[in-house]
């Protein structure tokens, strides 16, 4: 007998399984164990309806272990021990089970006990004094918390942004408001932001008025890590620095070296490092030229250096404008790889639908961008930050543009009536987990046989 596909004797899987058998080969599905006395059967051949009892798993008291009863016609292996026909042995979470007397040629399973219902939603409780979660500038609970380095003190984004602006006007360095250490880096702290939200959920009296939050948000300018207080020496000629200086200047900001476009960086000025080319650009909060991608909040230098006519040079990495520009100025010629959660079968179906309609990918994308800009599309599961603020005039990076196109092609597909789908795929059943299915990424047959351009009907996923 070769590797088997286990099948329970019960009904369809449900969400209240107390244990499961997890195959070590990820191409096969888990066997969920739902009753306290559960018989598992195996199929003789994939095409056969005949099923034979393989084993019976009985839940023990205390939920920490179970008993397995070998119901097959041959011995099985449990944690490398041979269990004869009708033999019984205790198993625990992590026990390995092989439905045959030898490991070779059989699908191996790991017995896993699921958390008890009452413990699945139990949260780890940590006592935190709200006094330790306050900004030392405004003396309130952090809002959109940022952390300064190297001292690691934490502040509201708006508070520290305003402090940084004033410091740059009056001092040579940006000093920490709490300990007066020279700040070298500052960035958002997402872990502490979660703690901040938990504290406010527990004690609503610590929340600030909405108008105060609006003022803070209007002052906040830190979207990604800022590099502050660069001590690089200025040079008067950016075009041809001496050979021995080129390596030192490799990550130099061009406007630290020369006056370009009427601007030259202050000695202690804050800088951003481009996510794509790793080059440096000055952080100019009041500038109209976007420095961050609205979709991912990462910094990109293409739009900034293009605005002052700086191109790639010997000493300073600079991105092309094509890497970071408005959505309306971009074009698409193919279905992006990230479309339909990288499921190539669904991508092929979408391509065929477009061709059958006598259209091209650019035609369909342009039509759906119009709907997007007119706010005719639900953006609740849009895979980009600031979803409600994005329009076709928004600057985005290449990655976020592909994600946005994939999002629009999802809506194109999901709104197609079944009569517009190719005949060989129109009758496919929807996958329970829809677009959130993980099996579609590693199981070609599942990805092909089930429709994944649909909403999840199982699991803790948004509908």
pLDDT digits (tens, 9 = 90+) for 63-113: 678 899 998 888 898 988 889 888 999 898 888 888 887 656 678 888 888
Q: Give residue 8's pLDDT.
A: 41
Task: State whether 29 and 47 are in the same domain.
Answer: yes
Q: What is the value of pTM for the model shown?
A: 0.60
Domain limits at 236?
223-319
Percentage of the chain surpassing pLDDT 90? 35
The total of structural domains in the chain comes to: 4
116 and 46 both lie in a single domain: yes
Query: Does residue 461 lie in a domain region?
Result: no
Q: Are residues 243 and 285 in the same domain?
A: yes
Statement to judge: residues 247 and 268 lie in one domain: yes
Domain boundary residue, one of 319, 354, 374: 319
- Are residues 352 and 366 located together in one domain of the fold? yes
Last residue of a domain, one of 167, 196, 220: 220
Q: What pLDDT, in 10s, does the model give residues 302-337?
A: 999 999 998 876 567 888 899 999 999 999 999 999
d(Cα 323, Cα 281) in Å, to the nearest integer? Answer: 15
Q: Domain for residue 1, yes or no?
A: no
pLDDT of 11:
38
CA 275 to CA 254: how far, in whole Å?
17
Same domain for 314 and 345?
A: no
105 & 193 share domain: no
Residues 141 and 213 in one domain: yes
Q: Report which of residues 14 and 409 the model is more confident about.
A: 409
Query: Domain check: are 103 and 21 in the same one?
Result: yes
Please, what is the average pLDDT of the chain? 82
Question: Per the structure block, which two tokens stand in for 271?
Answer: 């800088």
**Does residue 112 sit in the same domain as residue 45?**
yes
Cβ-defined contacts of 363-367 (< 8 Å, 24+): 364/409, 364/412, 365/332, 365/405, 365/408, 365/409
From the number of C-beta atoms within 10 Å of its C-beta (0-12, 13-18, 19+), residue 158 rates as buried
Joined together, the tokens standing for residue 416 give: 């197609």
Summarised one tens digit per residue, pLDDT across range 2-23 is 333 344 443 344 457 888 888 8
Q: What is the pLDDT of residues 257-281, one digit of tens each?
A: 888 988 988 777 788 889 888 888 9
Kindly state the DSSP code that residue 62 receives in the 8-state scheme. Answer: T
User: CATH no. for residue 95?
Assistant: 2.60.200.20
- Considering 266, 291, 319, which residue would you say is the last residue of a domain? 319
By the 10 Å C-beta count (0-12 exposed, 13-18 middle, 19+ buried), 235 is classed as middle
Task: Give the residue from 445, 371, 450, 440 showing the smallest Cα distance to 411.
Answer: 371
């Amino acid at each position: 007998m070769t590797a088997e596909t286990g099948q329970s004797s019960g009904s369809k899987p449900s969400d209240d399984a107390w244990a499961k058998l997890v195959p070590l080969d990820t191409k096969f599905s888990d066997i969920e164990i739902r009753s306290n006395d559960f018989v598992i059967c195996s199929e003789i051949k994939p095409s056969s309806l005949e099923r034979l009892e393989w084993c019976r798993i009985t839940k023990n008291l205390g939920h920490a272990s179970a008993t397995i009863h070998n119901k097959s016609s041959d011995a099985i292996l449990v944690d490398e021990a041979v269990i004869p026909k009708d033999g019984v042995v205790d198993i625990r979470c992590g026990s390995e089970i092989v439905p045959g007397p030898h490991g070779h040629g059989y699908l191996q399973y790991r017995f896993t006990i699921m958390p008890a219902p009452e413990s699945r939603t139990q949260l780890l409780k940590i006592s935190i004094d709200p006094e330790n979660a306050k900004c030392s500038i405004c003396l309130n609970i952090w809002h959109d918390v940022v952390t300064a380095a190297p001292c690691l003190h934490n502040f509201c984004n708006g508070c520290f942004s305003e402090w940084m602006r004033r410091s740059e006007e009056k001092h040579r360095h940006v000093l920490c408001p709490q300990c007066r250490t020279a700040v070298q880096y500052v960035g958002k702290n997402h872990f502490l932001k979660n703690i901040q939200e938990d504290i406010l959920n527990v004690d609503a009296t610590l929340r600030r008025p909405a108008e105060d939050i609006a003022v803070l948000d209007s002052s906040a300018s830190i979207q990604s890590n800022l590099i502050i207080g660069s001590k690089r020496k200025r040079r008067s000629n950016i075009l041809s620095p001496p050979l021995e200086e080129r390596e030192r200047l490799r990550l130099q900001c061009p406007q630290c070296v020369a006056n370009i476009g009427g601007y030259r960086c202050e000695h202690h000025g804050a800088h951003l490092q481009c996510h794509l080319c790793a080059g440096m650009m000055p952080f100019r909060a009041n500038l109209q030229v976007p420095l961050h991608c609205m979709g991912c909040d990462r910094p990109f230098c293409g739009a900034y250096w293009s605005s002052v006519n700086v191109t790639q040079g010997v000493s300073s990495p600079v991105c092309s404008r094509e890497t970071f520009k408005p959505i309306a100025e971009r074009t698409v010629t193919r279905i992006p790889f990230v479309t339909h959660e990288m499921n190539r079968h669904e991508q092929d179906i979408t391509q065929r639908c477009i061709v059958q309609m006598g259209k091209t990918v650019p035609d369909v994308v342009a039509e759906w961008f119009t709907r997007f800009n007119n706010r005719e599309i639900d953006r609740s599961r849009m895979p980009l930050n600031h979803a409600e603020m994005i329009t076709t005039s928004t600057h985005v990076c290449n990655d976020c543009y592909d994600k946005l196109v994939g999002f629009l092609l999802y809506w194109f597909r999901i709104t197609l009536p079944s009569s517009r789908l190719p005949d060989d795929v129109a009758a496919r059943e929807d996958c329970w987990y829809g677009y959130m299915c993980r099996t579609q990424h590693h199981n070609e047959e599942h990805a092909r046989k089930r429709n994944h351009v649909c909403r999840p009907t199982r699991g803790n996923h948004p509908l």
